[in-house]
Every structure is written in structure tokens, then in C-alpha cells.
Structure 1
């Protein structure tokens, strides 16, 4: 789904209010209307003059300056901004912004909102005004080398004092302070963004087509005490046993045992015989045998020699 320009505002009947959604169990999770988490009619949207024309509700020739009282926070601004009155529809499918004056709007998929945050605007008289900063990525799936970003400041409409606020201000009784419109707008965008995560890029997946391999890292006591990182087999098991009986795998000879993908390819340039004559000696090394014993081993004597031959090592020519 990509950014879509609209020429009329979506009717509220196209949405299910969040409070209504929370009070009932939907008959289907697929055929239900989008859930409306926040609706703000008469909000303000600011954008820099250099970015006019990038969004349909900000014409390239727009000259309307930010209005009071929030405009007092821009006295020291280094970049000139323009303002447009908009209606906000934060729903479970997208963020919709529509400008009645421009007779156009935009539906924005949440994955294309790269940043959103609460931004406090401070006036010279110490007054503070809440807003939500939104950074949009116009190019769907843009790469690190090619960005097309738009920075948008959304100022929600001021809410009328609730009965709880009026009671608290009169001093009759204390009541919990309600959330500001800025907080409601920010939390709605956050909640809906969580419902619409970025799509998974197949190139970023660690598993190959045959399944992922377990990576063992650290002191691998089960693999002859080697320390390092080893890739298991594609079926999730350990690689073939390392040659613990004859030498070490080092940076100089690791290519003889593993390929570039970490797969086991063999035991070095030459496989050693099961028994090495000029190296590690077998059982009975150093023992002195008489001539009779050697004949018995070769089966040249009688029954006595045959019995003893079962416990003797065969001499290799």
C-alpha cells in the first residue's frame, strides 16, 4: 500500500469508533470497518515553504502563515513555515489527513511514517503548546541512498474543558487530569503503527531456503573446548566432530575444514590413517617381546600361541 491522494474526506460512518469496538466482540476480524482511534476536525498542519507541493493539501503557491497562538513559538525559527487547516483521521488502516480549503487530502500507510514524536512549542511569554512531529517517507521502500522525506507538524484542535476539569478548577474536588489532545493524537498514531509493522524484507532474513542453522558462540566445551563461533548443520544440529585428536584449527588452516558459508568440507589436505606409526603410538608401546612371542602372534605355534594372539596387536609390514 502506498500514499494515496483523496478528493473528499472519508465519512465517519466508514469507521468503527474505538470505544464502540472495545465494548463488543466483532463477528469477523476481516470484514469489520477500520477502527477510528482519533478524529480531530480543524487541526493545524505546518510545513516548510521549501517542501510545498510535495503533499496534495499544500499547494506549491500556498502563502498562509502559521496562526496564533502557536505561531508565537516561531519568532526565532530559521525556516519559514506555511499553515493549512486539516481534519485528522487516525484509524487502524492508515493516517488520513484532509484539507477542506484545498479540497484534497492523503491516506498515509503507517510504514511510511518513519518518525513521530511529541514536540513542545514554547512561546516568548513562557506559554507552551503541544504538537506532534511527523516525518513521512514519500518514496515507498526508499533506500539509504535515496530519501524523499517531508517534515510535518500537526497541532490538534483545542478541546473544550471537560466536566472533570471544570470541577477541579473550581476547587470542589480533585480529579485525575485528562490527557491532552496532543497526547491522544500521539498515542493513537503509536498504537496504529504497532498494528501495521514494516513488511519483512526477504533479503534481510537470516534463514536460507534449507532452514536456518544454529550459531554457537563462546566457550564450546562440547566441541573439544574450542572458543569461537561455529555454524551448525542445516537441520539444526551440530557440525561434524572437529579433529580433536590431531592439531588445532587456526586462522591459517580454517579454510581446509570449512567453506565460506561455514559448512564442514573435510579434515584437511590429507586424512590421517586410523593408526599412525611415526606419531602417536598404540597400546603396548615400549614393551619387549621375545622371538617365541612374535611367532605366536603370527600363528606359527600351537594352541597356546593362538590364545595369546587374541590379546596381541597385529604387526604391520
Structure 2
């Protein structure tokens, strides 16, 4: 799944505030504004020079005035981070461009000191293993904007994050929460087993009894149904000889019992 470019600066009015969202029961779970979980203006983005240049959408976030070298990595300054229920957005105020990172591309994320590490898989589901494209980047937030509902007045800057949380801890938690809201889609042909489906577990119940009865109401095994152990039973029956594994009628059973009784009388008489 690829990164997505944006050309319009995100604004608080584009989202539903998390505090407002948590206090109300939504009228619908579809459509509507995405929920803003965290806003961190003026963050730093750290990435290797090679990966930055290989990804045009990330590379466009930097310019000579916001780019600096730090060991093997480059640091892009002045990045606004928006963590919403739909995507993670990085916006460059100096370049007036941005990029949205779908949560499904984030394969690993972790807090590393004052930054949050992200490991991204930018390949689609049909890409061969040898052609997969991965990118590693680190976001270092410096300030968290605590946007509250209008009744509680405007946004307040919290350099130390949410309450006792550091900015990195708050960013990590926000990304974690939003990832849970956006699980990976099931792979094609990888449907889950439904144990509640009639006959799914192999048991005959009132829900699937009609599948095992013929037009006369007699029991029959439906075509295409595999009976576990049937091959072993057939092999055992053939080894035991004729009549093995066959259910006897009442008359046959009475006859056999009578013969057995007579034989027993003869032996013991």
C-alpha cells in the first residue's frame, strides 16, 4: 500500500475531536469526519538519506532550510504530525505539501527515547518477497496540542505531552490506538473458519439434519462429504472378510443368537 500525497494543509476543523467523540454515541459508524487523536506541530523527521531520496513523497517534505545531517541519517525539521482515525499525516509547513501514511503500511512501531520508530511496508499484497519496499523513519515530537471541545476554549500547548506522558509516549499511544481501528484486510482466499455454520464442525445437528436425509427420510451421506477414518475402516473391513462392518438385521441377529445358543448347549451338554 503506497503513501498518499496531500496538497491542502490539515486543520482542526477537518476532524472530530477525540474528547468530543468519546463523550457521544455516534449516529453512524460510516462516513463523517475522522477523529483527531493527536496533533504535534513542529516535529522532527529522521530518515536515512538513501530512503529519503528513494521516496519522492517523503523527499518533498524537506528543503535546504529544514534539512540537516545527523550521522547516517538526515533530519527534516518543522513537520506537523496529525494522528487521525483514518491515517497518519505528515505536513511540511515550509513546503506546503504533505503525505498520508495508511496504518496498514506500518508493520512495526515502537518508542525509542524521545522519538517513535516506524517500519513501513510500501508494497502491495501481490509483490514478491524479493521486491518488497521497506522504509524506516523516526518521528520526534516536541509539542502536543491539546485540542479541546469549543466549550472548553481553544487549543493549549503541552510541551510535556498528555498529562504525565511525554510527547513520544503520547504519539506512540495515539498511533497504537488508531492502528487497532484499521486492521489489515484479510488476504485473498484466507477466510476465517466459521464454527457456527451448519455442519462446519462435522457434527449432525438440527440445523443441518436435512442434508443427511433422503426423500424417504432415511439417513444418507451427502455427496462430496469426507468421513474421517472411512478409508481406514474400509481397509479393516476388507481384511476381516465378508460381512465385517455390515449391520445385521433383527432376523439375522436372532438367527445367529439361536445358533450360538444351540452350539453352546452342544458343547456344554
* TM-score, length of structure 2 as denominator length: 0.65
Measured after TM superposition, the shift of residue 46 of structure 1 is 1.4
Measured after TM superposition, the shift of residue 206 of structure 1 is 6.3
The equivalences for 1:216-295 within 5 A come to: 235-237=200-202, 263-266=228-231, 267-268=234-235, 270=238, 272-274=241-243
Measured after TM superposition, the shift of residue 61 of structure 1 is 8.7
Aligned equivalent of 2:122, options 132, 135, 138 = 138
Question: Whose radius of gyration is greater, 1 or 2?
Answer: 1
| Residue-by-residue CA offset, 1:217-260 (whole Å, 9 max, x unaligned) | xxxxxxxxxxxxxxxxx642379xxxxxxxxxxxxxxxxxxxxx
Which one has the bigger helix percentage? 2
Aligned counterparts of 2:61 and 2:13: Cα–Cα separation in 1: 33
Pair 1:185–1:31, CA change in 2 (3 A): same
Structure 1, gaps ≥5 residues long: 67-73, 121-129, 167-175, 214-233, 240-260, 277-296, 298-307
Structure-1 residue corresponding to 2:262: 312
Paired positions, count = 211
Structure 2, gaps ≥5 residues long: 146-155, 205-225, 246-254, 264-269
Pair 1:57–1:311, CA change in 2 (3 A): closer
The equivalences for 1:201-212 within 5 A come to: 201-205=187-191, 207=193
Aligned counterparts of 2:134 and 2:52: Cα–Cα separation in 1: 12
Q: Is the 8 A contact 1:4 1:108 kept in 2?
A: yes
Pair 1:118–1:61, CA change in 2 (3 A): closer
Secondary structure of the residue aligned to 2:135 is strand
Q: Is the 8 A contact 1:131 1:156 kept in 2?
A: yes
Structure-2 residue corresponding to 1:258: none
Pair 1:86–1:203, CA change in 2 (3 A): same
Question: Looking at both structures, which has the greater relative contact order when contacts are Cα pairs under 8 Å and sequence separation is at least 6?
Answer: 2
Note if 1:114 corresponds to 2:107: yes
RMSD over aligned Cα, in angstroms? 3.9
Structure-1 residue corresponding to 2:166: 180
* TM-score, length of structure 1 as denominator length: 0.56
Measured after TM superposition, the shift of residue 157 of structure 1 is 2.1
